Amino acid sequence: MTIHVRQAISQNEGKHFDTAALRENFLIDALFSPGKITNRTVIGGVMPTDGALALKSTKEIGSELFLARREMGVFTISGSGSVTVDGDTIPLQGTDCLYLPMGCERVEFASDSASDPAKFYFISLPAHKRHQIKKITAKDAIRIELGTPSDANERVLRQYIHPDICTSCQLVMGMTVIEDGSVWNTMPCHTHDRLSLF
């Protein structure tokens, strides 16, 4: 696994970027590679093909185990598969989420089918306390319907790793699904300084 470090920039620099510069600094265009785990410091993609892929630490993580001092949220965004955590296998279908706490030692990702491999999207953040491993389905998540047809932004926000659903140190994760006929997530555009949504 290779970690590519991205340097933070402020909105003052960002507003002067043209399209090419915006793509170069913000677009992660090679997140999923067949048979590999790719990682962007705390954002990663796993696409197992011929066999299970083990999550390994790197020098940049700073510990022998990837989750020694970190927590992780995993979304299955395509296909189906499983995540095996310290010997316990947890099956995951599309739109399922898995919370992995600090202290998990061996984490392996596998697809149910090599011809239709699962794509696991994950975010990992530093953690200070161990919580419980938790699988969260779309039915378990908090469902919020947003937007209007006239603004072409009808969408469903599902909050998965959220204090009312799953205890974590600082990680929160949700999934937005844009309804047919809509083209915007939100309008006007805005940012979340302390929140990352998928």
Architecture of domain 11-139: Sandwich (2.60)
- Contacting residues for 51 by C-beta, under 8 A, at least 6 apart: 110
Q: Taking the domains of the chain in order of start, what are their residue ranges?
A: 11-139
* Rounded average pLDDT over 31-36: 71
From 4-13, 42-51, 180-189, the region with the lowest mean pLDDT: 4-13
Sheet holding 119-126, edge to edge: 36-40, 43-47, 119-126, 70-78, 97-100, 134-136
C-alpha 12/C-alpha 19 separation (Å) is 16
C-alpha 172/C-alpha 160 separation (Å) is 8
pLDDT in tens, 48-62: 998 999 999 988 888
